[in-house]
Structure 1
Amino acid sequence: MWRKATNLVVEAPAAPSSTPAAWRKTRRQGQTGATATISRARMSTAQGLSITWSQLEVVVAVAMLLNCLVCQAARRAPPEPYYGRYIGDFTNFAHGIKGHIYAVDESTMFVKSFAYDGTGPDAFFWVGKTPRPSPDGYIIPYPEEYTGVDPPILQAHNKTDIILRLPMGKRIKDIRWLSVWCRRFTVDFGEVFIPPNLDIPKPRVLPEFKRLAHGLRSSNISVLDAKTFYIPNLHYDGAGPDAYFWVGNGSEPNIMGIKVPNEVGSLEPLRGYQGEDIEIQLPGSLTVYDIDWLAVWCVEYRHNFGHVYIPRDMDVPPALGQTKITPPWWYSPTTTTPRPVYSNCREILPNKLQVKWELQGEYLQIELFGRITEDQYMAFGLSGANGRAQMSQSDVVVAFYDTNARVFRAEDYFISDLSQCDGQRGACPDERIGARNDVHVLSGDRKNGVTSIRYKRLLQTNEVIYDAAIPIDREVSVIAAIGPLNARKEANAHSHTASDHNQEDIRINFSARNDHSCKSSLYEVKDESGPRPWPTRKIEGVRKFRASIGPTGGKRGYTAITGVPSWGIAWYVNDLLIPEITVERGLNYEFVIEGGSDPAQPARYHPFYITDSPEGGLGQKMGLEARKQKAYAGVEYDEDGNAIPTAAGRYCEWEHLTVDRSAEIESFEEYVKTLVFKCEDGEPGYLNWTVPMNAPDQLYYQCFTHNNLGWKINVVDMGASGGSVVSRGLLVYIISTVLSLVATRLLGTGHVLA
C-alpha cells in the first residue's frame, strides 16, 4: 500500500536576473536546477513518504514541466532588442512628450520612440543635477553634429529612436534628470529622473591576443558594446593564406566558427597589421553573449594563429550605433546556413561565374559563384529576348557583398536600357522604380577570391511589368554578367567585354535534374595575375642541413614553387625557402631541426620527417590514409603501430620585420633582408639519415603535424650528384698536384725514376 505523503514540496527555480551576466549564468545552471528538483522528489519518496499513483503522476508531471521551464530559462538570451539599463519613461507636461529612456553606457542614453510636437520656440534636451529640472542645466545637442555656433532647436518627432551623448565628458552619474526644456520660457515640457545607484553597462577590457603564430599580438582588447571589439596595437604579418577574424563556441577555437569582417567591413583574407588600432563588429545578430572566443583563424588549414576568451559575466553596452563603426541596425546572419548539394550546375562565364539551382515547389533556389572583387557584382536572370542573349528588357538578380552594411545582398533588377538607373529607366533595382524586391537572400560567403550568394525567388510573382515568370516546362534563354558597383551599391552600367557577360544564347530548363556541366570548382581556378614567382633554389653536395621555419613568400614563394596552397609558413633549409635537396644513396646526412618541440603549442610544433608523400602531415592521418605514405626518417612506431615523431627541437623562425612584402620584392635574396631570424630557448633536434640503397628517386622533407610545409628530396646513386662530380674533380686536382710536387722534388735531387 502507498501511504499518503506529507509536505512534499517541489520548488520552482528563481526568476533570472535582468542583467546579461545573470543570463549567461542561468544558461549554465539551468539544467542543474532541473536535476535537483527531480532529485528532491525522489528523495522524499525514498524516505518513506508514500503517495497514491495519481498523486505520483501529478508529481512527475509537475517535475517534467518544471524541467522544461528551467531548460527554456537556461537557453534564454538577453531580450532582443536590448537597449541598455532601463531608466524610465518621460512624464509629459506639454507638447505630447513621450519616450522610453535607457542608459547605454556611462555617457550615452537611448530614447526609444520619442515623440514631441515640435511647437516649442526654444526647446532642447536638457540635463542637470538639481533636485528638479531648472534653468541650472545644460543642453545635450541633437543632432550631435550641426553647423553654426548654437545647437539646433529640437524639431518635431513621432516615435523616433534617438541616441543622446552627454557633452564635455559628463557622465550619467553626474546628472539627476533628463528634460525636454524650453530655455526661453524656462518651462519643463517633460522629464524623467535617473534612479540613484543605477547599474550602468560598461565596456569590458580583455587580455591581449594569445601569441601563437605569424607574429600575432596586440594590447589588451576591449569589448565596447555587445557587437564591437576594439583591438589596439595589432600586429600580424599577413602571411596566412586564408586568415580571418573568427568567433565561435567551445574551449578552443575550432572549425565551427563564423567569419567576422575586418575594420573596413571586408571579408577578404586579413592583410598585415603594424601596430594599428582597429574596431571590428560581429556579423548578423551575433553578440558577445553568444560566443566564447575571438581568434585569428586560417580557414583553409584549420589553424589558430591566436585568440582571446570572452568571459561569461559580461555586462556591456548594447550595440545601438554609439560606437565608431556599429551601424544602427542588425542584419540577418548569412554565413552559417549549411550549403546544399545541387544536382544542377552551369558555368556561364568560363572561370568567372557558375550558377547552381534547385526547384523547390513554387520557388527557385539559386546559388551564384563568382570570381569577383568586393567592389563588383554578379548578375544572373532571364534574357530580354528568348533565343538570344539580350541585356535590354531582361529580368535579373544582382548579387554582391555590401561592404558598408556588411551583408550579402541579392536584388531584383529590371534592365530597360543599357544605362545608369535614373529612377525611371536604365539598369534599375525594382524598388527604385516603384516595384518590389522579390528575391530573398539565404546565405553568403567569400573565400579565396570567390563570392557565393544563395537566394530564392517565386516562379511567378505579382509584378507583371518588371518580373518575368520563370517557366518550368521548357528551356529559357538566360544571361549573366559581372561588373563594377557604383557609389549607391548598384550595378554600374558599363561597356561589357566578351569575358564579363555571355554573348551566345544559353538555355536552361529549371525543372531539369542532373544538368551538371561544371567541370571544376571556381575555387580551383588559379589566379593568373600577380607577381612573377621566384625560381626554385637547389642544394647539392652538402651533407649537413639546418631546418627552421619561415614565411612562405606569398604568391612568389611556396605556392608558385609547389603548385599547392600554403598556410603561411614553410621549411627553410640552410636559410633557403623550400629548396630542392639532392642526396646520394648509401651516404649519411645530418639534419639540425628547429621547428618546435612543444606539442601543447600546435602552431609552433613542427617535427621534421622524410617521406614519400608530397603532402606530409602524417600525424594528422588515420587508418588507410596514414598507410598511403611511408616515412623514411624522423618517425618511429609504437607497439600499436602509431607513428611517433623523433626529430623535434627548439623553435626558430624567420619573422617579418614589419608585414609580408613578398609581392613587391623581385628576388628571394632581397626578400630575406625583410626578415629577422629568432630562436626560442632550448636545444635543437638532430636527425641522422643514411639514404637506403632502395630509396625511390623522389622523396620529400615535411612536417609531421601539418600538411604542405616542405618540398622535394632528389635521390640519386652514389657519385651521381653534382656535388660528387665536383668532389671527384677536386680529388683528381689534389692527386695531380701532389704527383707533380713529388716529381719535381725527385728531379731536383738527381733521382730518376726507372
Structure 2
Amino acid sequence: MDTLLPIIALIVLAAPHQAHSQRYSERTKYGRLVGEFKEYAHGIKGTVYVVDESTLFIKGFAYDGTGPDAFFWVGNQTRPSPEGEIVPYPKDYKGREPPILPAISNADIILRLPFPKRIRDIKWLAVWCRRFTVNFGDVFIRPDLDIPKTKVLPEFKRLAHGLRSGNISILDAKTFYIPNLHYDGAGPDAYFWVGNGSEPSEFGFKVPNERGSLEPLRGYQGEDIEIQLPNNLTVYDIQWLAMWCVQYRHNFGHVMIPPNLDVPPALGQTKITTTSTTQDPLQMPKMTNCNVLLKDRLQVQWEMHGNEVQVQLSGRITINQYMAFGISGESGKSEMIGSDVVVAFYDKDQKEFRAVDYHITKYAQCDGAEGVCPDERIGGKNDAMVISGEQRDGVITITYKRPLQTRDGNKDKSIPSDSDVNVIAAIGPLNSRKEANAHNADDRTIGDLRIDFSSKHDHQCATTLSEKIEGPVLKPWDPLKIEGTKEFTARIGPTGGKRGYIPITGHPSWGIAWYINDLLIPEITVERGETYIFKVEGGFDRTNPAKYHPFYITDSSEGGFGQKTTREQLRQRVFAGVGYDSEGNPYPNSAGRYCEWVHKTIDQSANEETFQSFTKTLRLDCENGEPAILNWTVAANTPNIVYYQCYTHNNLGWKIRVTGASAGLSSATPLYTTSAAVLVHLLVLALNR
C-alpha cells in the first residue's frame, strides 16, 4: 500500500483543484499585462507585466547596448522626462549607482522599483539616455491596473510539538513566508506537507524546508523562514499546508489555503531576507572547479560565465569573521599589497550575506584613503554581487559574481579569460564597521597560488567543507528505574533524541514518550497480587490524535492496540486500560487531561549528558481537567515482563518488571484478560475480515 501512496497522492492532489488551476492558467503566469514597449531607437523590444506592488517583469527584452548612458527609467510625469528615476538592473545591484544598461538580446528581466516607490507611483517605464535626454522606448501603465498582492493567512493550528507561528503569507504562487516559527524538533519524520481535502492526510507531498532540503525538520526558535513548493506545484493546486509526521501519519499543525487567490506569479521577485542563516549545501550553486585555500578551513569554487565569474567561498568561520579571496597585487607572485579581493561575511545586524569589493594598499585598517579598504570608501564601486549564502555545521558559504573587467580604475584587477593568475586568500575578524580586520599569519595563503578562472574541470578538493558533518557519537542516558512505589503519574514528554528512547528501547520513536513520575520511560517494578494506581494525563480529545494518548498495559513492546486489526489485536494480551462494549468491541478507558513536558526552546538532548540536566530544558504544560485513574491489580499469571503503552500510537512506553510468586501460564490460558464471550466475538470478527 505504501508504494501506491505517491501515485494516489498525485491523483488526489490534482483532482479537487483542477478547475481552480484552470482559472489560474487562464491568467498570465507573468503577472498583469501592461503592454509592449514602443520602440524609438536602438532596437528596444519586450512585453511588460506588473508582478506585484513594486516589481515589473519584461518578457523578451532587447536593446543593442550602444546608448552611452542608458538606464531603465520610471516616473509619474505625463511622458518620460529627465525628472524620472533609475530602476536598478540587475534588480539586486547594491552599489552606489547601477551600471549603464548593456546590450541585451531577447532576455527575461525582473525590475524592482527603488524603495519606497510602488507601481501606483509611476505612469511609465522607459529606456532613457540620461546624457542626451533621449527616450529609446517606453510603455505606459494604466492607473486602474489590478495588481496581484501577497495573501496573509492565519497562523499554524497548534496541535503538537510546540508548533506555532505568526500569520503565514503567500508571497507568490510558489512561496510561503512563515514568521516566528516555533517547533521543538522532536518529531522523528516531520516535514512541511501540502495536499487537498478538508484536513491534512497521508495523501500529500513533501515541501523542501527553507534550506531547500528534504531532510526531517529541525527545531525552530522563532525564526522567519520561506519555503517553496516543489516542481510545478503552485498554491492554486493545494488546499492546506501542514507540518506532518510521515512515519506516524500525524498532523502537528496546519493552515488552510483559501480558493480564488490572486497572488503574484513565482518569478523570484518577492523573496524576503529571512532570519534563518541555514541553507542546505546540496542546494547551493554547483561549481565545476574547486581549490583548497587554507586546509580544512577555506575553499573556493568557481565558474566563468561569459564576461563574469561566479565564485563560491566556503570557510570554517564564525559570524564575527570574514573570508577574503581575490587577485594578487603583483603579477607572477601572490602578494597582498595592491591586490583586488572580495571580503565575504554574514552581517548579523542586517541579517544578510555580503560580498564587498576591496582594494589593499597597506598592511593597515582603512583610514578612508589607504589600507585594507572597501572600494566604495575610497571612491570606487562594489563590483561583487551576492547570489546566495548559507551557514551550516560551522561552515559559512557565500556565492557571488563579479565582472572579468570593471570600470573601477586602478582599484580592480582584470581577471584573464584564457590563462591562470596569482590569487590570495585569508580569514580574519570583522571590526565594528563590519570591515576586515588584521588576520593572523597562519590565516592566509602561503606561497604562490595560481588559478585559471576559465578552466572547466579543475577540482582539487577531495571533499567540500559544506558537506554535512556528522557530529560525535552521543552517549545514551542511563536507563531509569522505579521500584517500591504504588502510585504513578503518566504524562507525555520528548524522547530525548539519540540519547533517550531509541537507544534504550531499540525501537523507532514518534518524538514523544511516556514520562512516569516525570521520568522518561523508566522501567517499573511491580509485584503480583498488589494493586497500583496510575494517574493518567495523556489527553482525552479524540479529535486531535497528536494529543490523544490513552494509557494501557500489555505484553506488546510496541503498543498501539487501537490502530491494530482484529487479527493483530488477538496477538496482544491486555492487562489494564482497555474495556469492551456489549458487542465485544475494545475501547480505552484511561486517558484524562493532557499534560506534556515540552522544550523551552528546541530539543537540547544532544547537549545534555544526563536526563536530569535535560529536564532543566523542559517545562510542564497541562490543560484543564482531571487525570484518569487506572487501578491495576497484578494477577498471579501476569508474565515477568509487560509494558505500559499508548492505546492509539506505537512506541511510547517501556517495561514493567513483574516479581513475586507466579501461577504460571498453561496452554488453556486465554490470550485476553477478558470474557470468553468477547474472545469468541473477536475471533468471529477476525474470520470475517
Q: Normalized against structure 1, the TM-score is what?
A: 0.60
Which AA in structure 1 matches 2:57? F
Query: Counterpart of 1:708?
Result: 651
1:15-71 deviations in Å (ceiling 9; x for gaps): xxxxxxxxxxx9979xxxxxxxxxxxxxxxxxxxxxxxxxxxxxxxxxxxxxxxxx8
**Separation in 2, partners of 1:246, 1:100:** 36
Match of 1:640 among 578, 583, 601: 583
Q: Out of 307-316 and 564-573, give the one that drifted further.
A: 307-316
Structure with larger Rg: 1
Partner residue in 1 for 2:486: 543
Is the CA contact (8 Å cut-off) linking 2:155 and 2:164 kept in structure 1?
yes
Offset, 1:177 = 1.0
Q: Which amino acid aligns with 1:140?
A: V
- Matches for 1:79-118 after TM superposition, within 5 Å: 82-118=29-65
Which residue of 2 is the match for residue 199 of structure 1? 146
Q: Which whole-Å deviations, capped at 9, do the CAs of 1:454-498 have from their partners, x for residues lacking one?
A: xxxxxxxxxxxxxxxxxxxxxxxxxxxxxxxxxx999966779xx
> Alpha carbon RMSD of aligned pairs, Å?
3.0
User: How is 1:185-224 mapped onto 2 (pairs within 5 angstroms)?
Assistant: 185-224=132-171
User: Which residue does 1:483 correspond to in 2?
Assistant: none
List per-residue Cα deviations over 1:83-117 (Å, max 9, x = no partner).
11111111111111110111110000000110111
Match of 2:547 in 1: 604
* Residue 167 of structure 1, CA deviation: 0.7
Q: Which amino acid is the alignment partner of residue 563 of structure 2? A: Q
Distance 1:86 1:206, change over 3 A: same
Letter in 2 for 1:261: P
Q: Secondary structure of 2:120's partner?
A: helix
The aligned counterpart of 2:599 is 656
User: Is the Cα–Cα contact under 8 Å of residues 237 and 272 in structure 1 kept in the other structure?
Assistant: yes
Asked whether the equivalents of residues 124 and 139 of structure 2 are also in contact (C-alpha less than 8 Å), the reply is yes
State how far apart, in whole Å, the 2-side matches of 1:651 and 1:312 are: 35
Deviation at 1:422, TM superposition (A): 11
- Give the 3-state SS of the residue equivalent to 2:25 in structure 1: coil
Q: 2:535 aligns with which of 592, 604, 612?
A: 592
| Counterpart for residue 496 of structure 2 | 553
Identity of aligned residues (%): 65
Aligned with residue 613 of structure 1, among 537, 545, 556: 556
Q: Is the 8 A contact 2:176 2:227 kept in 1?
A: yes
Note the 1:48-447 alignment, pairs <5 A: 77-78=24-25, 82-146=29-93, 149-324=96-271, 402-404=282-284
Between Structure 1 and Structure 2, how many residues are aligned?
Answer: 477
Distance in 1 separating the partners of 2:113 and 2:302: 42
Contact 1:697/1:714 (CA < 8 Å) preserved in 2? yes
Instruction: Give the 3 Å change call, closer, same or farther, for CA 73–211 of structure 1 in structure 2.
Output: closer
Identify the structure with bigger relative contact order (alpha carbons < 8 Å, sequence gap 6+): 2
Question: Is residue 129–residue 174 contact of structure 1 (8 Å, CA) maintained in 2?
Answer: yes
Provide the secondary structure at the position in 2 that maps to 1:673: helix
Match of 1:578 among 521, 524, 541: 521
Q: What displacement does 1:404 show? A: 2.6
CA distance in 2, matches of 1:325, 1:554: 32
CA contact (8 A) 2:550 2:591 kept: yes
Change (3 A) 1:149 1:576: closer
Contiguous gaps of at least 5 residues in structure 1: 1-25, 30-70, 327-372, 376-401, 412-419, 424-487, 497-526, 721-754
State the alpha-carbon separation in 2 of the partners of residues 547 and 666 from structure 1.
24
Q: Give the C-alpha shift of residue 150 in structure 1.
A: 3.1
| Letter matched to residue 592 of structure 2 | G
Displacement after TM superposition at 1:121 (Å): 2.0
Say yes or no: does 1:693 pair with 2:646: no
SS of equivalent residue, structure 2 residue 142: coil
Q: 1:241 to 1:315 in 2, by over 3 A?
A: same
- Work out whether residues 536 and 590 of structure 2, in 8 Å CA contact, stay in contact via their aligned partners in 1: yes
TM-superposed deviation, 1:421: 12
Q: What SS is found at the alignment partner of 2:51?
A: strand
Range with bigger deviation, 134-143 or 692-701:
134-143
SS at match of 2:172: coil
Give CA deviations for 1:121-144 in whole Å, capped at 9, x if unaligned: 222111111222222311112123
The aligned residue for residue 318 of structure 2 is none
Residue correspondence of structure 1 range 518-537 to structure 2 within 5 A = 530-537=473-480
Q: 1:148 to 1:703 in 2, by over 3 A?
A: closer
In the alignment, which of 562, 566, 571 is matched to residue 628 of structure 1? 571
Please give the alpha-carbon distance, in whole angstroms, between the structure 1 residues aligned to 2:237 and 2:497.
Answer: 35
Q: Counterpart in 2 of 1:399?
A: none
The answer on whether the counterparts of 1:127 and 1:176 sit within 8 Å (CA) in structure 2 is: yes
Letter in 2 for 1:622: T
2:625 match: 682
The 1-side partners of 2:270 and 2:98 are apart by 22
